[in-house]
Amino acid sequence: MGVLDELNAGARADMEERRALTGQDELARRIEALPPARDPLPAFRAPGIAVIAEVKRSSPSAGALAEIADPAALAEAYARGGADAISVLTERRRFGGTLADLVAVRARVDIPVLRKDFVVDDYQLYEARAAGADLALLIVASLTDRELAGLHATALDLGLTPLVETHTADEVRRALDLGAALIGINNRNLDTLEVDTATFARLAPLVPDEVVKVAESGVRTPDDVRVFAEAGADVALIGQALVTGGDPVAGVRAMKEAHRG
């Protein structure tokens, strides 16, 4: 079993435990009581480069990164630095996250919040929206065309903006066939965990200008942000560099200022 298969299997097992406690109908009732989800796309399309700053305790590739006892405080610092959205890892086995982290972040910041997890079932999208998420990650490599189309449609029905993640030319084609408005290009191969920062520049020309492009993985310095922006990135998703940098406010600000449109 590859790393991605392992992560997907773990996410499904954990989801089934939660579903046994809280049914989808209950989540739907909670969603009805919420205000509309925030739309991240206007900020992502603005001049310059937008930043999605990530609350990330650990990863399969790097191991433990940061304690993050108060994810809401970290998210608030990101927002003060000018982050355009907050990504919250909610996968617990390899990333040390929980949905409670997302709930706490949502209560503290007014900018859009992304649930970053290994989504394989509609239930997880209902969970995401009920917890206050505005975006949800869909990884093309994890899903068949039918699964991807179904999850994408469910996300839109719930008011979520899907971030459709790709790593190959074929995955970009599948995302475009889906009609995705927000496409992530991950420089990391999720099966081997290796990073090739040339991946973004190789695949970005395949994505039409009207589709928002997000550079994922390997974004460690302002110079990296500049390189990805020059290759066509509208947004940089940054985790490890910010949680280990010591000053999240200044860290986000430096990334944002790296490229002015």
Active site residues: 54, 56, 116, 165, 186, 216-217
First-to-final CA distance of the chain: 43
What element of type H or E holds 190?
none
For residues 177 and 133, give the distance between their C-alpha atoms in angstroms, rounded to a whole number: 25
For residues 176 and 160, give the distance between their C-alpha atoms in angstroms, rounded to a whole number: 18
Contact (Cβ atoms closer than 8 angstroms) between residue 44 and residue 234: yes
DSSP 3-state of 138: strand
**Residue 197 is encoded by which pair of tokens?**
């920062």
**Residue 77 is encoded by which pair of tokens?**
């610092």
For residues 28 and 152, give the distance between their C-alpha atoms in angstroms, rounded to a whole number: 17
For residues 160 and 18, give the distance between their C-alpha atoms in angstroms, rounded to a whole number: 21
Angle formed at CA 236 by CA 235 and CA 240, multiple of 5 degrees: 160
